Amino acid sequence: MVAARSSFERIASLQNFFPEFYQRFFARCPEARPMFAKTNFEHQHRLLKHAISLLLIFPGHATDREPNLLTRVAARHGQTDLRIPAEMYAPFVEALIDNVRQFDPEVTADVEAAWRATLAPGVDYMRSKS
């Protein structure tokens, strides 16, 4: 958990981190691109930064009751609002990991494993609300 958060602190403020994430995500998941047709990406980058931060701290908080850290984000992405299909979460994670490899000068196999392990509970929660 700490390794992933430290990695995110190193890269979250880099100018191209979020724009390049979306390029990678759309390459891995082209069906997502139309969902962003009317998106203000400057605003979207701030939302994504916040969501990733929540995903990275989610494992350290009570996750067995509602509401929790991700309840609002999951509701927004779930069946009553954006209707993000559960199968879009895997390409999201892979695009994010690709971006971490690209931008974090201290990335190692252990840092990548920390990202995957830290993201898993939050991503699983998000998928469960799809």
Percent of the chain at pLDDT > 70 equals: 99
Residue 83's region, left for phi above 0, alpha for psi from -120 to 50, else beta, is: left
Burial 2-25 (b: 16+ CB within 10 A, else e): ebbbebbebbeeeeebbebbbebb
Burial 92-115 (b: 16+ CB within 10 A, else e): bbebbbbbbeebbeebeeebbebb
How many of the other CB atoms lie within 10 Å of CB of 84?
20
**Mean pLDDT, residues 71-96 taken together:** 96
d(C-alpha 126, C-alpha 2), whole Å: 21
47-75 pLDDT, tens digit per residue, is 999 999 999 999 988 777 899 999 999 99
**Mean pLDDT, residues 110-124 taken together:** 97
- Residue 40: pLDDT band (50, 70, 90) is very high
Identify the structural domains of the chain with CATH numbers, from first to last.
Answer: 2-33+40-128 (1.10.490.10)
